[in-house]
């Protein structure tokens, strides 16, 4: 993997993974063996025709490659950057046996970027006469449902609580991995399909699901994600400078978009920072803290390195950028003075230890908010707070006409897994709306 060489402590959020040139992309595409049984497709959650688009690229037919990608994905420039390729398509590539798989992610990204820059594909739009669907949330699941339904002749309106569309793609993934302009560009592509976006509109406050169904919409999709971070039930959790990683990442995102000043970002240059957790969000948080000027950043986890939830590449890059790690270390208590964090008490193989620290960022997962469900009739959730859905029609909740998908239904997943689920829900919504209209004729 190619990385930029500038000092990450300089505050640069420039994208670190360098794209291919045209010559490099075609050369890489020609490495594909066009296997009789493509294992890469088996490894892809949305079953991309990977050999198909790579073959088109190998002949220089980028328009043809993009048409194949469009059959399965509404977000190729995003998936090409943030999908866990090492566990999915590239991990299944037959050439991975020699630790040199075809770089599917970088090829998908190259095709999507080239298509956007050259405006190769102009889609033929179907009349929006099949029905009207409201989509709540513009993260991976919401964008996928919106794009798929719009392609099939549905009038789709997306309601987003934030100022900009994109959800976790815009506010939860650092720009060095996924630049904001890429997210905006993918949203604009979906908008070009005839989808309407209404931002800064919090469903459950300004408008409700009940109101949507009783007025103009034939169906509603809830794709609001898991926006409530999990916390630790330990002493000192409410001390000043103990905070959630998701809040920190969002504030950095707003700072990079010039919506807030540097003083509003909850990290002071020169601080010693501890990040609790060892997933990809923890890695993002640690690497972002370095870019915001932390003196030292340490990830503390009760896991072993071998069992960490994060991708190996994310760990390797964090290590390269100077992040330190304490494995098999259980956080027991936060210690403070005058209600301000001073140290962390933990247990490791040597016994109880005390680690001085200026700021703690907690990245141990998240769960769905209940604002939308609590303001709607008949939508049931399970004991963990996730929305209960059916298989027929796929994705429909216990409330007729209301569907849900992505992280609001499942334990938080990757972008492409949310997309896979959302594509199935889009089909369920289409079947439902068609059936209702047929019965009412």
Q: What percent of the chain has pLDDT over 70?
A: 97
Query: b/e per residue, 248-279, with b = 16+ CB within 10 A?
Result: bbbbbbbbbeeeeeeeebebbeebebbbbbbb
SS3 per residue for 399-413: CCCEEECHHHCCCCC
Q: For residue 312, what are its two tokens?
A: 């190996």
Residue scoring higher pLDDT (348 or 7): 348
Write down the pTM of the prediction: 0.91
Which of 407, 426, 433, 406 is CA-nearest to residue 193? 426
Nearest to 193 by CA among 253, 142, 225, 150: 150
Adjacency order of strands within the sheet including 330-337: 330-337, 340-348, 351-356
Domains and CATH numbers, the chain: 22-118 (1.10.1060.10), 131-227+368-440 (3.50.50.60), 230-365 (3.50.50.60)
202's CB contacts (< 8 A; 6+ apart) are 161, 371
27: left (phi over 0), alpha (psi -120 to 50) or beta: alpha
Contact assessment for residue 259 and residue 252, using Cβ atoms and an 8 Å cutoff: no
DSSP conformation letters of 223-238? -----EE----SBTTT
Distance CA 114, CA 231 (A): 42
CA atoms of 301 and 414, how far apart (whole Å): 21
pLDDT at 373 over 90: no
The per-residue pLDDT for range 278-313, each reduced to its tens digit, is 999 999 999 999 999 999 999 999 999 999 999 999
Looking at residue 120, its pLDDT comes to 77
């Amino acid at each position: 993997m190619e990385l930029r060489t500038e000092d990450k402590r300089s505050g640069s959020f420039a994208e670190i993974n360098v794209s291919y040139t045209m010559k490099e992309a075609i050369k890489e595409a020609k490495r594909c063996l066009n296997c009789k049984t493509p294992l890469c497709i088996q490894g892809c959650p949305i079953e991309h025709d990977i050999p198909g688009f790579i073959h088109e690229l190998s002949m220089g037919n980028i328009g043809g490659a993009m048409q194949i990608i469009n059959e399965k994905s509404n977000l190729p420039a995003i998936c090409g950057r943030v999908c866990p390729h090492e566990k999915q398509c590239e991990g299944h590539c037959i050439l991975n046996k020699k630790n040199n798989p075809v770089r599917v992610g970088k090829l998908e990204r190259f095709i999507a970027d080239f298509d956007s820059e050259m405006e190769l594909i102009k889609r033929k739009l179907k009349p929006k006469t099949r029905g009207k669907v409201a989509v709540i949330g513009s993260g991976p699941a919401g964008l996928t449902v919106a794009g798929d339904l719009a392609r099939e002749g549905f009038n789709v309106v997306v309601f987003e609580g934030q100022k900009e569309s994109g959800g976790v793609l815009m506010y939860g993934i650092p720009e060095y991995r996924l630049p904001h302009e890429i997210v905006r560009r993918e949203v604009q592509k979906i908008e070009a399909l005839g989808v309407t976006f209404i931002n800064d509109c919090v469903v459950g406050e300004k408008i409700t699901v009940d109101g949507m169904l009783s007025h103009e919409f034939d169906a509603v999709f809830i794709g609001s994600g898991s926006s409530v971070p999990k916390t630790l039930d330990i002493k000192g959790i409410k001390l000043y400078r103990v905070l959630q990683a998701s809040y920190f990442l969002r504030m950095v995102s707003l700072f990079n978009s010039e919506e807030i000043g540097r003083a509003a970002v909850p990290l002071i240059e020169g601080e010693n920072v501890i990040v609790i957790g060892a997933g990809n969000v923890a890695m993002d948080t640690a690497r972002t803290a370095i870019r915001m000027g932390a003196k030292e950043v340490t990830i503390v986890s009760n896991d072993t390195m071998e069992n960490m939830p994060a991708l190996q590449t994310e760990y390797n890059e964090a290590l390269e950028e100077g992040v330190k790690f304490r494995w098999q270390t259980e956080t027991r208590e936060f210690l403070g003075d005058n209600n301000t964090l001073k140290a962390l008490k933990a247990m490791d193989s040597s016994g109880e230890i005390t680690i001085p620290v200026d700021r703690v960022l907690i990245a141990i997962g998240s769960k769905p908010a209940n604002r939308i469900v609590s303001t709607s009739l008949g939508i049931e959730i399970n004991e963990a707070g996730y929305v209960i859905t059916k298989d027929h029609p796929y994705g429909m909740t216990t409330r007729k006409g209301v569907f849900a998908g992505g992280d609001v239904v499942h334990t938080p997943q990757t972008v492409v897994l949310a997309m896979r689920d959302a594509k199935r829900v889009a089909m369920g919504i289409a079947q439902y709306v068609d059936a209702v209209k047929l019965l009412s004729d």
